Amino acid sequence: MNCVLQGGLVYLDGQFIRGSVFIRDGVVTAIGDGVPSPTDRVINCTGRHIFPGFTDVHVHLREPGFSYKETMATGTLSAARGGYTAVCAMPNLNPVPDSMPALQTQLDMIARGAVVRVLPYGAITRGQQGSELADMTGMAPHVAGYSDDGRGVQGDALMRQAMLEAKRLGKVVVAHCEDESLPHGAVNDCAWARQQGLSLNDPASEWAQVKRDLKLVRETGCRYHVCHISTGQSARLIRQAKQEGLDVTCETAPHYLLLDDSALQDDGRFKMNPPLRSADDRRALVEALLDGTIDMIATDHAPHSAQEKAGGLKNSMNGVVGLECAFPLLYARLVKPGMLPLKRLIDLLHHQPNRRFDIDTALAVGKPANLCVWDLDRPVRIDPEQFVSLGRSTPFAGEEALGACVLTIADGRIAWQEETP
């Protein structure tokens, strides 16, 4: 692909410069001033921002096994529409990628259907059952790390063994922290949930396992990453671990930064795991984002069928979608009010996840083009019926946001381009 993105504001080396991005055979050849050749396709980017492609380290693409929820094609197109050029796919699939033969099934589907880069996680335990370790060695060359996302590894000894194996292999343990010995129901333990007679989720079910795992990290020295933290106490424990010098990172999701349990409605689009927490927890997460305790923002994009999300908070499946609306919401709610600099948001969505998971999608001369182009002045309304994802369930449906992705180029190919009238 030969093209020139002409006249945009390009985010390069921590600064915005006005210029053009020249791409030849899918590779960035120059950034700055220059004249397109007669054979170049010129894309006018005047008044638009050009960012390095975002990376989401926590998505559920549902294939193999659950293509009625999402396919590799629809999930990665959804990512591209949101400005993402790389995603890390969780292993709660059928078959679970707990060995090389099972993982190969997923790798083949990625090769056939993905329009952005997909890095799979291998399971920590066989079948994600928490009884014995998966074949971590066999999968190591092909995975971003290891996770049993969807449930926590309950056994201390098994988690310690997993950490030692991951350390030997130079990989990250990516932990869904949930202590199943504590109340871990559908909704945060709050007055409204009690009035509705809903099953309650004790915040300690998250942070107690974070605390357990950090103890094991001290013993093993492994690289450790905590998924979707939702409680202030989890943030405080991770902050302390970082001060000790432990090799620990964490993520949170847009819904935990922007919503709390006061927003709950008896609707499946508000059911996710972990659940929305208290206003105090939300404020603590924003503080942790601002002080660097939280390293990155990941959507936990988790599509389900309409029927699976039609059972209210009691009977719907856990999970909401987020790839297509994450940036517009974060930009509108955190950047525009002055809480978070735009450069810092790009760091959270690109540089930090790439650094942690050894992903190279840098916007740089000599590299394959991985970038997204945004019209940041365009108001948008979150309309799930316009999503390209098969999933439609989001707590932000109907909300106003700001910014539209008009073009995404992933590994030198156009993965998403907005249709022009």
**Residues noted as catalytic:** 300
Q: Are 251 and 243 in contact (CB under 8 A)?
A: no
How far apart CA 415 and CA 83 sit, in angstroms, is 10
Strand 84-89 versus strand 49-52 pairing type:
unpaired
What tokens appear for 118 in the block? 């997909």
SS3 59: strand
Q: Are 205 and 217 in contact (CB under 8 A)?
A: no
Q: What does R_g of the chain's alpha carbons equal in angstroms?
A: 21
Buried b (16+ CB within 10 A) or exposed e, 382-413: bebeebbbbbbbbbbbebebbbbbbbbbbbbe
Burial (CB count <10 Å: 0-12, 13-18, 19+), residue 281? buried
What tokens appear for 187 in the block? 């909704």
